[in-house]
Amino acid sequence: ICFRDLFAKDEAFWLIRIDMERYNIEGAQRRLYQISRQLNNSLHYYSETLHDINFDHFANLPPTELEPERGYDFNLVNEGQNVSGLKCTICHLFLRETHSTPCHHAFCRGCLMKWNQQQPSNARGLKRCPSCNEHYDPKKIYVNGVVDRMVKNDIDVKCPQHEKECQWQGKIIDYKDHETKCDFVMVPCKNKGCNKSVARINMADHKSICHYQIVECEYCRKKTTKLEFGNHLCGECPLVNVKCPNEGCQSALVRQEIPEHLAEECLYEKIECEYFDVGCNQKVQRKDMEEHNKINLAKHQKLMLHDYKLMKMKVAEVERSNKELRDELKKANEKKPQSQKPVLKNKFKSLYVTESEDYVTESEDSDSD
C-alpha cells in the first residue's frame, strides 16, 4: 500500500510537470508565430520598397554621392566560350549587378544609372535604350537575376593578375575570396605614414625596408619607426652605451649616467676654480685643478686677503650700527617711565641677539668659502 501511494504521488507530480512544459511550449510557439508574421510583414514592405525604386531618382544624384561600378574585367579561360548576352553594351565588360530595361536589354547597374544621369528625358520622361535606341520608362527597369547568376556561375575566367603569373582560374563568384589571398594583388602597406602599395607576395620584403615599420629599441624597449630609430639611438635612448663627450676621456657608459659622470668624475670636464667665490674666474679641467692652484697660489692669497678685508669692513660697519642702535635705545629708556624700561630692554636684547646670530651665520658661510 505504501509503494502504491508513493507511485501515485510521483505520477501526479510528473503529470503536473508535463502539463507545465506543454503550456510553456505552446506559449513559445505562439511567440514564434507572432515574430514570424512580423518578419514576413517587414520583408514584404522592404520588397515593395525596393521594387518601387525610381532609377530617375539616381540620375538626379550629384556625382560625388554616386560612384557606379563598371562591369567585371576578366579574361576567359576558353576564348571560344559563348558569352553572348553576358556583356554590358555600355562598358563592354561582363555584367555586374545586372539590370534590364523594359525592352529586355541587360546592363550593369552602375552603367545604367550613369546613362540615366547623362541622357536627357523626352516630354514623357522616357529615356533611350543604349542598345536599341527605343524609349523606355526608367521606373520599369528591373533586376535581371537570371542573367546575373549566369555571369557569376557559368563563366570560367582567369585571375586579372594572370599576366603576373597568377595561375588561378574559376568562376567570377569565387574570385572575391581568391582576391583576398592572391599573391599578385596590389595591397597598401599597413604601416602608418607609408603610402606605398606593393604586390602581396612582396609585402614581407617591403616591410623589411619600410621606413615606417615599427621597431623596438634593444636597449630601452621603446617602439619607434625605422625612420626615427637612428635619431633615437644617437640622441634619445637613455640606456645605450656612449662615449664621454669630453675630448681625451675614454670612459664609455650609458647615456643617462653621463651628467653625473661630468659633474663628479670626468677628469677632462672644465670646472670652476675653488676660489671662484673670492674672484678667480678661471675654469680648468678637473685633472689640472691642483696644478692651477699651485701656479696661482699667490693670486689666490691676494684674493682671499682682499675678501677678508672686505669682510672686516662689513663687520665694523655692523658693529657701528649696533652701537648707534644701543645708544638710541639707552636714551629712549632713560626718557620712559620706570615701568616700561624692562620691556624696551627686552626688545633691544631680542633685536641684538637676532642681528648677532645673522652676523655669526654670515661669518661661518664666509669661512666655509
Model pLDDT for residues 175-199, shown as the tens digit of each residue: 999 999 999 999 999 999 999 999 9
Residue 298, in any domain of the structure: yes
| Residue 254 shares a structural domain with residue 276 | no
Q: How is residue 240 annotated by DSSP? A: S
Pairing of strands 156-158, 169-171: antiparallel
Nearest to 130 by CA among 151, 154, 112, 147: 112
| Residue 276 shares a structural domain with residue 245 | no
Number of domains observed in the structure of the chain: 3
Instruction: Give the per-residue pLDDT at 217.
Output: 93
| Residue 246 shares a structural domain with residue 176 | no
Over its length of 369 residues, how does the chain's per-residue pLDDT go in tens digits? 444 554 555 666 667 777 777 777 877 777 777 777 777 666 555 544 544 444 444 444 444 344 568 899 999 999 888 888 899 999 999 999 999 999 999 999 999 999 988 888 888 889 999 999 999 999 899 999 999 999 999 999 999 999 998 999 999 999 999 999 999 999 999 999 999 999 999 999 999 999 999 999 999 999 999 999 999 998 889 999 999 999 999 999 999 999 999 999 999 999 999 899 889 999 999 999 999 999 999 999 998 999 889 998 998 998 898 988 888 888 887 776 655 555 445 554 554 445 445 544 444 454 444
DSSP H helices, 210-340, are 226-235, 258-264, 289-295, 297-335
Q: How is residue 3 annotated by DSSP? A: H
Residue 70 and residue 93 in contact, taking contact as beta carbons nearer than 8 Å: yes
Three-class DSSP category at 277: helix
Instruction: Give the per-residue pLDDT at 337.
Output: 63
| Residue 290 shares a structural domain with residue 258 | no
Residue 301, all three cell numbers: 692669497
Three-class DSSP category at 159: coil
Residue 78 and residue 156 in contact, taking contact as beta carbons nearer than 8 Å: yes
Please give the C-alpha separations between residue 266 and each of 57, 179, 325, in angstroms, as whole numbers. 82, 64, 53
Residue 28, in any domain of the structure: no
Choose one of 161, 180, 199: the last residue of a domain. Answer: 180
Residue 170, in any domain of the structure: yes
Residue 253, in any domain of the structure: yes
Report the greatest alpha carbon distance in the chain: 136
Residue 259, in any domain of the structure: yes
| Residue 279 shares a structural domain with residue 246 | no
Instruction: Give the per-residue pLDDT at 252.
Output: 92
Residue 68, in any domain of the structure: no
Question: What's the pTM value of the predicted model, to 2 decimals?
Answer: 0.51
Which H or E run includes 171?
Answer: strand 169-171
Nearest to 88 by CA among 74, 78, 77, 98: 98
Residue 130 and residue 91 in contact, taking contact as beta carbons nearer than 8 Å: no
Phi and psi, residue 80, nearest 5°: -90, 0
Pairing of strands 186-188, 197-199: antiparallel
| Residue 116 shares a structural domain with residue 170 | yes
Please give the C-alpha separations between residue 217 and each of 66, 225, 238, in angstroms, as whole numbers. 48, 10, 11
d(CA 230, CA 236): 10
Structural domain boundaries, residue 81: 75-180
Instruction: Give the per-residue pLDDT at 184.
Output: 94
Instruction: Give the per-residue pLDDT at 334.
Output: 78
The per-residue pLDDT for range 298-345, each reduced to its tens digit, is 999 998 999 889 998 998 998 898 988 888 888 887 776 655 555 445
Residue 187, all three cell numbers: 595591397
Instruction: Give the per-residue pLDDT at 53.
Output: 47
Choose one of 132, 153, 180: the last residue of a domain. Answer: 180
Phi and psi, residue 180, nearest 5°: -75, -10
Q: What is the CATH number of the domain that holds 228?
A: 3.30.40
Residue 104, in any domain of the structure: yes
Instruction: Give the per-residue pLDDT at 19.
Output: 73
Instruction: Give the per-residue pLDDT at 68.
Output: 65
Instruction: Give the per-residue pLDDT at 193.
Output: 92
